[in-house]
Amino acid sequence: MQPLVLKFGGTSMGDVERIQRAARIVAAERAGGRPLCVVVSAMSGETDRLVKLARAAGAERPEGPAVSGHGFDDEYDVIVSTGEQVATGLLALALRQLGVPARSWQNWQIPIRTDGHHARARIQSIEDGAVGTHMDSGEVAVIPGFQGVTQDGRITTLGRGGSDTSAVAMAAALRAQRCDIYTDVDGVYTTDPRIVKGAQRLDRIAYEEMLELASLGAKVLQTRSVELAMAHRVVVRVLSSFIEPGVAQIGTLVCAEDEVKMEQRIVSGVAYSRDEARVALFGVPDSPGVAAEIFGRLAQAGVNVDMIVQSQARREGAQNIVFTVTEREAQRALDAVRAGASIGFEEAQVRRDVAKVSVIGIGMRSHAGVAHTMFAALAAKGINIEAISTSEIKISVLIDAQYVELAVRALHTAYGLDAAA
């Protein structure tokens, strides 16, 4: 029988009681007879505690001359990875308390190999032989998420949120039937239920849609894990770990487009992000190569640019260039364009009180008028659009931050996503 991978995040592993609840969920799943692999995060708060210790002992950028070949990240990984190690032991013990055979597997015991980029490593290969044999014999394998081991045997971590990625990678390696991600919500919603009461849980969502949602601020799944799931065709299910084990729940299935299409939706969800800043450059010379110069400098400075709008300025021979970045990168973006003396613009301006609202749906590919519905719905509420960007399955607009909730509600209604009252 194909195995099943289950993943429990930090809040689902928050304390011993929650770990015991996770154990009951695993025990209930085991009744189905499938070999089981459980990937766990560190108990919530634990990673932060360890990061703080590491920073206190080793300051992120050691002062003085660099000691050859010695940085911060390798030992940071040694320290921080212990959070998940503890979690594996605790869950294995909690499972045994329920009479379920279980054991922990550390990454070096499997091994799960990554590249050598400490603190942001990428999984390269998983040798699932021994784990698989144990799983086939009925023993639940409990594995720490978020980490791996290099070719020469040093501990790495995948970067924050990497546990989802570990789970999907393990599911791919084990050719699992499915990867169940247990989290603090019971699925993926058409939009944020805190803003729209009528938000509905989606039974299914395509990888591409989930990817747009994940990168647009819906924090259910980590972007990299969705990319990996799509690449390996791993079916992912998002479920709540806060429902009593045994109570049936459907969750949301993240799967290939052709398995979703039958639902015939045009728009699957409305997402928003407040973590936006709008940088405007006024009076940029209207000559070839200027845009290349600007965005080349931003790339060099490591700034990710999202939307870009170029428009004619009032003055002849000049144009205005507006782009958006995350709030954190706004100052860096400004510094980068100002440092480019050769660019020559009249004025630079940053606005942080902006937000991005997006509608996402694979149905857009085959339906016209989706953008019109969006613009009309926003206009009807008197909301001004400051920038637009589109992809095949997404339309995003930049608006004044104070209208975010209003815009999300209007769009949710306009696309017929509201639940029947």
Name the residues that contact its own copies, by CB under 8 A: 16, 19-20, 50, 53-54, 56-59, 62-65, 67-72, 74-76, 78-79, 82, 85-86, 88-94, 96-97, 99-104, 106, 108-109, 153-155
For the CB of residue 410, give the shortest distance to its own copies in the complex, in Å: 48
For the CB of residue 119, give the shortest distance to its own copies in the complex, in Å: 12
For the CB of residue 19, give the shortest distance to its own copies in the complex, in Å: 6
Q: Which of 381, 327, 388 is nearest to 357 (CA)?
A: 388
Considering beta carbons, is residue 141 or 360 the nearer one to its own copies? 141
Considering beta carbons, is residue 55 or 175 the nearer one to its own copies? 55
For the CB of residue 371, give the shortest distance to its own copies in the complex, in Å: 52
Question: Which value, to the nearest 10 degrees, does the dihedral of the CA atoms of residues 257, 260, 265, 268 take?
Answer: -80
For the CB of residue 96, give the shortest distance to its own copies in the complex, in Å: 5
For the CB of residue 256, give the shortest distance to its own copies in the complex, in Å: 37
For the CB of residue 91, give the shortest distance to its own copies in the complex, in Å: 8
Considering beta carbons, is residue 57 or 299 the nearer one to its own copies? 57
Considering beta carbons, is residue 78 or 318 the nearer one to its own copies? 78
Name the H helices within 184-233: 207-215, 223-232
> What's the full length of the chain, in residues?
421
For the CB of residue 180, give the shortest distance to its own copies in the complex, in Å: 22
Contact in structure between 46 and 221 (CB atoms under 8 Å): no
Regarding beta strands 236-240 and 252-255, do their DSSP bridges make them parallel or antiparallel, or are they unpaired?
antiparallel
Considering beta carbons, is residue 137 or 264 the nearer one to its own copies? 137
Based on the number of CB atoms within 10 Å of its own CB, is 371 exposed (0-12), middle (13-18) or buried (19 or more)?
middle
Considering beta carbons, is residue 13 or 211 the nearer one to its own copies? 13
Query: What is the token pair recorded at 129?
Result: 């032989």
Angstrom distance (rounded) from CA 77 to CA 79: 5
How much of the chain is in helix, strand and coil states, percent to nearest 5?
Answer: 40, 25, 35
Considering beta carbons, is residue 137 or 342 the nearer one to its own copies? 137
**108-132 burial code (b ≥16 CB/10 A, e <16):** eebbbbbeeebbebbbeebebeebb
Angstrom distance (rounded) from CA 60 to CA 190: 40
Q: Which amino acid is at 68?
A: S
CA angle 163/167/169 to nearest 5° reads 110
Considering beta carbons, is residue 72 or 282 the nearer one to its own copies? 72
For the CB of residue 151, give the shortest distance to its own copies in the complex, in Å: 13
Considering beta carbons, is residue 59 or 376 the nearer one to its own copies? 59
Coil, helix or strand at residue 370: helix
- Give me the residues paired with residue 140 across strands: 102
Considering beta carbons, is residue 65 or 302 the nearer one to its own copies? 65
7 phi, psi to nearest 5 deg: -130, 130
Query: What is the token pair recorded at 128?
Result: 């699932």
Angstrom distance (rounded) from CA 156 to CA 282: 45
Question: Which value, to the nearest 10 degrees, does the dihedral of the CA atoms of residues 124, 125, 131, 132 take?
Answer: 130
Considering beta carbons, is residue 70 or 372 the nearer one to its own copies? 70
Angstrom distance (rounded) from CA 175 to CA 235: 10
For the CB of residue 20, give the shortest distance to its own copies in the complex, in Å: 7
Q: Which amino acid is at 320?
A: N
For the CB of residue 123, give the shortest distance to its own copies in the complex, in Å: 20
Query: What is the token pair recorded at 76?
Result: 């940071």
Angstrom distance (rounded) from CA 167 to CA 234: 10
Contact in structure between 208 and 393 (CB atoms under 8 Å): yes
